[in-house]
C-alpha cells in the first residue's frame, strides 16, 4: 500500500538529519548558523527514529519491548548529542578565551556528552539491525549496516575522553541511506498503485516500508 504523506515526511527527516549534522560540523570553531543547523537536524532525527520503530512494530505484529527499548535508546542518544551543544553556546555567550580553565571545562563537557551519546545510539542500531534481519521488513543491507554501525558506535563510545568520533559519521551514512531507501520505496509504490474506482469504499492506508 501507499505510504501516507506524514510517513514520507518522517522518512525524509532521516536524510535531513544526516546531511544537516554533517554540514554543521564545520572546522571546529563556533558558528551561530552551524549551531542552529545542528540543533534543527538533531531534532528532526526524533520523528525518523519513531517512524523506524513503527515499521518494526508492524513487522512484529504485536507489542515488543525490544522495539520500545530501541526507540528509547535512540532518542536518548539524540538528546545527549543535543546537550553537547549547550556548553559551546555558553562558552560563546560568556566570551571565554581559548585556554582558560572555564573554556577547557566547557569544551570537555561538550566532548564527554558527545561520547556518552554513542552508547545508547549503539543499542538503538544493534536492536534495530537484529529486528530487521529477523523480520526481513527491510532489505538485509539495512540490517547489516545497522549492526556494523552499532559495533563502531560501541567501540568509539568506550574511549572515554575521545575528541574524535568517526562512528558518528558511520551512523549518519547509515541513516542517510536508510532514509533514501524508504523514500524511494514510497514513491515507487505511489507511482504503481492503482487508482480506486469511483464509488469504491477505501479504508485507511497502512504504512509499508517496502524492500
Read off the pLDDT of residues 27-49 as tens digits, 9 standing for 90 and up: 556 778 888 999 999 999 999 99
Residue 11 CA to residue 181 CA, distance in Å, equals 9
Span 158-173, pLDDT tens digits: 886 666 789 999 999 9
Structure confidence at residue 189 (pLDDT): 63
Q: Are 67 and 56 in contact (CB under 8 A)?
A: yes
- Give the 3-state secondary structure percentages of the chain, helix then strand then coil, rounded to 5: 75, 0, 25
Q: Which of 66, 180, 46 is nearest to 134 (CA)?
A: 66
**Confidence (pTM):** 0.82
pLDDT exceeds cutoff 90 at 198:
no
**How far is it, in rounded angstroms, from Cα 152 to Cα 48?**
21
pLDDT in tens, 63-102: 789 999 999 999 999 999 999 888 777 776 776 767 677 7
Q: CA-CA distance, 146 to 82, in Å (whole number)?
A: 22
User: Domain segments of the chain: what residues?
Assistant: 5-95+104-190
Amino acid at each position: 500500500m501507499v505510504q501516507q504523506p506524514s510517513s514520507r515526511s518522517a522518512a525524509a527527516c532521516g536524510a535531513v538529519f544526516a546531511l544537516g549534522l554533517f554540514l554543521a560540523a564545520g572546522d571546529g570553531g563556533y558558528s551561530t548558523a552551524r549551531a542552529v543547523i545542528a540543533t534543527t537536524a538533531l531534532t528532526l532525527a526524533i520523528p525518523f527514529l519513531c517512524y523506524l520503530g513503527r515499521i518494526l512494530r508492524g513487522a512484529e505484529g504485536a507489542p515488543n519491548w525490544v522495539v520500545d527499548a530501541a526507540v528509547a535508546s535512540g532518542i536518548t542518544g539524540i538528546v545527549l548529542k543535543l546537550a553537547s551543544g549547550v556548553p559551546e553556546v555558553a562558552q560563546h555567550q560568556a566570551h571565554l578565551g581559548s585556554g582558560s580553565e572555564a573554556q577547557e571545562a566547557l569544551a570537555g563537557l561538550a566532548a564527554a556528552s558527545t561520547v556518552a551519546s554513542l552508547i545508547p545510539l549503539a543499542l538503538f542500531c544493534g536492536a534495530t539491525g537484529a529486528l530487521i534481519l529477523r523480520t526481513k521488513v527491510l532489505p538485509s543491507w539495512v540490517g547489516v549496516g545497522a549492526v556494523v554501525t552499532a559495533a563502531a558506535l560501541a567501540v568509539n563510545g568506550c574511549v572515554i575522553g575521545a575528541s574524535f568520533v568517526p562512528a558518528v559519521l558511520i551512523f549518519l551514512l547509515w541513516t542517510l541511506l536508510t532514509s533514501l531507501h524508504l523514500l524511494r520505496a514510497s514513491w515507487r509504490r505511489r507511482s504503481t498503485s492503482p487508482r480506486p474506482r469511483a464509488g469504491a469504499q477505501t479504508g485507511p492506508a497502512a504504512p509499508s516500508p517496502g524492500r
